[in-house]
Amino acid sequence: MLDSLSKHNRALLQNYQFHLKVEKGLSKNSIESYENDICNLLTQTDKDIEKITNKDIIDFFVTLQEMGLTNTTIARKRSSIRSFLKFLIEEEVGISADVDDIPSIKPSQRLPDVLSVKQMLKLLDSIPNQKPTDIRNKAMLELMYATGIRISETINLSMHNVYWDDKVVRVLGKGGKQRVVLIAQKSLTYLADYFNSARSVLRKDKNTDILFLNRFGNKLSRMGVWKVIDKITTEAGISKHVSPHTFRHSFATHLLEAGANLRAVQMLLGHSSINTTQIYINIDSTFIMQEHRLYHPRG
């Protein structure tokens, strides 16, 4: 994300990253987390850091709330921003923002049903690849995680909605609105495996263009997808509650954690209004310990 910043802002942020690494001893992942949070603010304001005001920062928080981020996530971003501004003050860089007057954010009490990247890959990699239904399940869940499409959009997909050469799927979303979503090559390969082998077995002699079929050759139901996910989750040894929407939440969360643009995620999820976008981020104990190390006088 540094490449998207001005040369001036990039230089200041790189100095801060050096401070976090050498003086505070934070891990690479934690430093990248701070970088993403700060870059989000700098990208939205499009100003030199010295000219960013408290109003700019509050407007940024409002945008995050409109995106549907939990207060826990916004509180983390606030913490990253305040830390950076304090560092600039110590380095005698004149800033317009009043660090002590940045409003506090009360953390949320409940985290949504989101799997970590490691848990999601464990779940997907645990799916067997023997029976036609196994091949279907693999293709379907890989597609849901790769695109963030809803369960209703998944079960209503037609064979004609997949554009193999362009590596995209046309999705009919809420309110009859269509959008095009990209598919990663790996997910496209699993989908092709299903399309070229297992689907014809499941279809039997029925004339249907529905993409994902049950063992009777009919369209999968919502309950059918729920049962598939529940069975695979149990067999993978994952104790968290996992629903079809977990794949959508995890898709958006992992993109944002990796530094994806907030409004780009909104478009990928197919929300016409940014107010309805639901993105959730888990805060793990490692980050909390690193926060303590960064801010506590004895850290």
d(CA 84, CA 88): 6
Percent of the chain exceeding pLDDT 70 equals: 85
Whether 202 shows a pLDDT value over 90: the answer reads: yes
C-beta neighbour count of 72 within 10 angstroms: 18
Please tell me which residue in 136, 150, 179, 199 is annotated as part of the active site. Answer: 150
Catalytic residue at 150? yes
pTM of the shown model: 0.57
Q: What is the mean pLDDT of residues 256-274?
A: 67
Please tell me which residue in 19, 170, 219, 245 is annotated as part of the active site. Answer: 245
Catalytic residue at 280? yes
- Percent helix, strand and coil across the chain, each to the nearest 5: 60, 5, 35
pLDDT at 288: 38
| Most confident residue range from 2-11, 58-67, 135-144, 239-248 | 135-144
Please tell me which residue in 174, 186, 206, 240 is annotated as part of the active site. Answer: 174
Task: Give the model confidence (pLDDT) of 267-282 as tens digits.
Answer: 777 755 433 333 333 3
CB contact set of 58 (below 8 Å; sequence gap of 6+)? 102, 103
Catalytic residue at 227? no
Least confident among 11-20, 77-86, 109-118: 109-118
Percent of the chain exceeding pLDDT 90 equals: 36
Average pLDDT, rounded, for the chain:
83
CA-derived radius of gyration, the chain: 22
Cβ atoms 214, 132 nearer than 8 A:
no
Task: Give the model confidence (pLDDT) of 135-193 as tens digits.
Answer: 999 999 999 999 889 888 999 999 999 999 988 899 887 667 788 888 888 899 999 99
pLDDT at 99: 87
Cβ atoms 222, 245 nearer than 8 A:
no
Catalytic residue at 245? yes
The residue among 69 and 108 whose pLDDT is bigger is 69
pLDDT at 256: 73
d(CA 119, CA 291): 24
Separation of CA 163 from chain center: 24
pLDDT at 110: 47
Q: What is the mean pLDDT of residues 66-73?
A: 76
Catalytic residue at 271? yes
Phi first, then psi: give them for residue 172, nearest 5 degrees.
-100, 110
Task: Give the model confidence (pLDDT) of 107-120 as tens digits.
Answer: 654 445 788 889 99
Q: What is the band of 212 on the pLDDT scale with cuts at 50, 70, 90?
A: very high
Q: What is the band of 211 on the pLDDT scale with cuts at 50, 70, 90?
A: very high
Query: What single-letter amino acid sits at 292?
Result: H
Q: Mind listing the domains of the chain with CATH numbers?
A: 2-110+283-295 (1.10.150), 117-251 (1.10.443.10)
Q: What is the mean pLDDT of residues 207-236?
A: 93
Please tell me which residue in 138, 248, 249, 254 is annotated as part of the active site. Answer: 248
d(CA 58, CA 168): 37
d(CA 113, CA 246): 6
Cβ atoms 96, 51 nearer than 8 A:
yes
Catalytic residue at 194? no
Helix-helix angle 71-90:7-18, to 10 degrees: 90
Q: What is the mean pLDDT of residues 24-39?
A: 89
Q: What is the band of 249 on the pLDDT scale with cuts at 50, 70, 90?
A: confident
Number of residues written out for the chain: 299
